[in-house]
Structure 1
Amino acid sequence: MSEKRALKVAVIGGGSSYTPEIVEGFINRYPDMPIRELWLVDIEQGGHKLEIVGELAKRMVEKAGLPIDVRLTLDRREAIKDADFVTTQIRVGLLEARRRDEHIPISHDVIGQETTGPGGMMKALRTVPVILDICKDIEELAPDAWLFNFTNPAGIVTEAVHKHSKVKSVGLCNSPINFVKFLAKEYGVTERETLPEFVGINHLHWVTAAYVNGEDKLPEMINQGREYTASNVTALDWDADFLSSLGAIPTYYLRYFYMKDKMLADMKEAVAKNGTRAEVVSRVEKELFELYKDVNLQEKPKQLEQRGGAYYSEAAVNLMYSIYTDRRDVQTLNVRNGRTLDFLPEDASIEVNCVVTGQGPIPIPPQRVPEGITGLIRAVKAYESMAIEAAITGDRGIALQAMVHHPLVPSVSVAKTLLEEMLIENKKYLPNFFK
């Protein structure tokens, strides 16, 4: 153990309900990746959650009998100083802001979702300046640290960091790791015996191959109607003719684009019955934190998998482990494009398979990119680029262009109405727009 360099890790947003999962990951990896200090950081409004989650984390470490020093703090800079790895899992505006992101577009007959469309744009406008502020601390206090971001919208946030900071950063999403688990279960193999290929950008990717022990099972999966989804996206069946001619399986988030009418109708029905996803998550989190309070609880509860973002933390621990050990395995990550997808700008953030080395991930050019998907990727990427510029400058003209050119927004008039209403509702989190 003495031969391995012990690590300091800072988790920004440590009061999140996901934190027990990342703690479990650190415990399981400890023999090969020893954590010396684990700092859980939150803001004052999340202090009570930080205490609850932090005490559970300490009980988990104590049960494992490991010398991991778990520290809780509201001082972000103290946590970041000399860290080897920093992860960000924050929600600027908390769940109340997410609720507005979902409700306001739906009231105007537009998809209301936290990571795409007008709701995703508002989340980006709130989040990008905060993440870049965190990056300034990392540049000053831990210039060699890696930043792993799974704060949504992860692709936009990752691209903003690449464009406007010097921090070594990678974005993560749970959708690829969930597909790997799904594929392994479908064919009764281990996850290491699978290798799906992903092409696209965050929450807008397609599976273009699905290898199981070297054999591509994708045509079979399409023919048999095998598909995967998540608890936060309605499970509507894909049209068989569409998938067959596309030759790929879209991520479940693409239902918002390919099945817009059905998804909007489902959202309206959900609002009438149970509220939006924000209200559902609020209830799930309340139950989780009641469990976390139990002083006899010493492990991650099974109920955590009910959260829509289950396995985010596993993805983060896997990435950390691979960089720490120069493992050179394949993971699906949000990275700088370079020339990987030749139809996108080099500085765009893309979500593709990468070989993870000790120096960071290296994107693998995909074997094929179905022609039909390139236009949608370009359109959403153009929106994302403008959203980043708007978040940094507070320029309402650029924000309007971003809103208008998102494929889920039907017209200029609707875009202007949504933008004005949502900016006002988010005024306290968007000082750039109200100078």
Structure 2
Amino acid sequence: MKLTILGGGGFRVPLVYGALLGDHAEGRVTHVTLHDLDAGRLSAIARVLAEQGAGVPDAPEVTATTDLDEALRGADFVFSAIRVGGLEGRAADERIALAEGVLGQETVGAGGIAYGLRTVPVATHIARRIAALAPDAWVINFTNPAGLVTEAMSRVLGDRVVGICDSPVGLGRRVARILGADPDEAWIDYVGLNHLGWLRGLHVGGRDQLPRLLADERALGSFEEGRLFGPEWLRSLGAIPNEYLHYYYFNREAVRAYRQAERTRGAYLLDQQAGFYREMGKPGTPPLAAWHRTLADREATYMAANREAAGIGERNEEDLESGGYEKVALALMRAVARNERATLILNVRNRGTLSALDADAVVEVPCFVDATGAHPVTVAPLPYHAVGLVTAVKGVEREVLAAAESGSRTTAVKAFALHPLVDSVAVARRLLAGYTDEHPGLAYLRS
């Protein structure tokens, strides 16, 4: 099988290749094509993969190209992991939003809208090229904002595009660990949108173990989300929110922490990854060691401003393990290619799963996956407070899609103004003006 990775010069690509190296079964991926617009980044990541695969007899062959059509032809699976505007764009998104006193995070609030406005047209173009050149390929979307981009691509590719995120998986594993359960055997009742979801239950042997955790003050304070939100708030909700809901529940504190920080997350990653790729350009640099060192620092500093706002200090060692988005992707590919049935939390079209949303709205819920694709599992209704957030944010996503299709500045302003974390139409107008001045990729917004 051939796997094409769009954004193949991206820093996290070795995680995917590492997962592929552990798959030796029949029907595995035998060829990986990396595509990126930056030849230097492609070369650096190809060097890391070469060292990863050294000594593995059946390591997938790796090729690299800057030609999109060449990369797509013959693909069985396509991973979309692009970053339109690069980390420079992310840093600018944060800076412009914070100057207006609102959140600039890349998937939440003003920053997520700006990122979506410049990403959706590119993702839609890619979807059309896939439909033309690899119509039977399955597309696994990693590109943020993941739910929004998956919905944009699904308008071209239908159910053959599935979005993935490691946040729900990581949350489920942390809760299972605290409860002494095997996360691979537990049923995780998780529902919402990407970066806007709640773990409402963890069922083992047909019994929900979450109430036991919520009743245990010490256990609640022993893992990332428990420290981030606080035991009292978690018991009030009766659920464990995705970590990104900290931006909603503690918005003022998060914005203040980001404004007081020495630099934003995007600015930090821009400097860090520039250093990595610069180091990779030097002869004699050990590729894999340099990559591992950079990855460890990246994971340790994840959501540092939010932890600062919550007053919880550094991440615990046991919380550093990611949800393993590369493992989710591999399990998804196996289920589709080999009919190895799996249950995964994925971003798929709603199809009646959440009654508050229409059938085509992409949601993040447990899915049964087999050779025919990912099928969302019916879930219990959300409480009204969650319905309010989910429908409001989905409404914003729809305005982003409409603006990307029409090129309407008025619609783009509406997307900003309707977001729960942007509190003023006047601020929305200034945000769009700031973003269009900064990003050439938003020049299409005219009318």
TM-score, normalised on structure 2? 0.88
Q: Which residue of 1 aligns with 2:29?
A: 35
Quick one: which of 53, 57, 70 aligns to 2:62? 70
Checking the alignment, whether the CA contact within 8 Å between 1:332 and 1:354 is kept in structure 2 is: yes
Superposition deviation, residue 327 in structure 1? 1.9
Quick one: which of 76, 100, 103 aligns to 1:108? 100
Is 1:323 matched with 2:336? yes
In structure 2, what residue type is equivalent to 1:255?
H
Q: Which residue of 2 aligns with 1:49?
A: 41
**Can you list the C-alpha shifts for 1:74-130, whole angstroms capped at 9, x where unaligned?**
111111101000001111011111001101111111111111111101100111111
Is 1:430 matched with 2:433? no
**Can you list the C-alpha shifts for 1:237-296, whole angstroms capped at 9, x where unaligned?**
4254432232111111111111111111111111xx2x0001222244245547767665
Tell me, what secondary structure is at the counterpart of 1:35? coil
In structure 1, what residue type is equivalent to 2:183?
E
- More moved, 182-191 vs 416-425: 182-191
Checking the alignment, whether the CA contact within 8 Å between 1:384 and 1:402 is kept in structure 2 is: yes
Is 1:411 matched with 2:424? yes
Q: Which residue of 2 aligns with 1:205?
A: 197
CA distance in 2, matches of 1:245, 1:391: 39
Checking the alignment, whether the CA contact within 8 Å between 1:128 and 1:388 is kept in structure 2 is: yes
In structure 2, what residue type is equivalent to 1:388?
L
- More moved, 192-201 vs 303-312: 303-312
For structure 2, list consecutive stretches of 5 or more residues without a partner in the other structure: 303-321
Closer, same or farther: CA 304–214 of 1 in aligned 2, 3 Å:
farther
**Can you list the C-alpha shifts for 1:169-192, whole angstroms capped at 9, x where unaligned?**
001111012123323432444431
Checking the alignment, whether the CA contact within 8 Å between 1:208 and 1:368 is kept in structure 2 is: no
Is 1:248 matched with 2:239? yes
CA distance in 1, matches of 2:270, 2:397: 28
**Can you list the C-alpha shifts for 1:115-151, whole angstroms capped at 9, x where unaligned?**
1111101100111111111111111111000111110
Q: Which residue of 2 aligns with 1:282?
A: 270
Superposition deviation, residue 313 in structure 1? 2.2
**Can you list the C-alpha shifts for 1:178-218, whole angstroms capped at 9, x where unaligned?**
12332343244443123221111011001111224544221
CA distance in 1, matches of 2:288, 2:89: 32
TM-score, normalised on structure 1? 0.90
Quick one: which of 398, 421, 429 aligns to 1:385? 398
Checking the alignment, whether the CA contact within 8 Å between 1:145 and 1:167 is kept in structure 2 is: no
Say what the alpha-carbon RMSD is for the aligned residues: 2.3
Superposition deviation, residue 413 in structure 1? 1.1
- More moved, 191-200 vs 277-286: 277-286
Number of positions where the alignment pairs a residue of Structure 1 with one of Structure 2: 419
CA distance in 2, matches of 1:27, 1:363: 29
Closer, same or farther: CA 132–373 of 1 in aligned 2, 3 Å:
same
Quick one: which of 16, 24, 33 aligns to 2:18? 24
Quick one: which of 220, 224, 230 aligns to 2:212? 220
Tell me, what secondary structure is at the counterpart of 1:315? helix
Checking the alignment, whether the CA contact within 8 Å between 1:228 and 1:252 is kept in structure 2 is: no
CA distance in 2, matches of 1:367, 1:200: 11
Closer, same or farther: CA 369–417 of 1 in aligned 2, 3 Å:
same
CA distance in 1, matches of 2:227, 2:92: 25
Checking the alignment, whether the CA contact within 8 Å between 2:32 and 2:62 is kept in structure 1 is: yes
Tell me, what secondary structure is at the counterpart of 1:15? coil
Percent identity reads 33
Q: Which residue of 1 aligns with 2:412?
A: 399
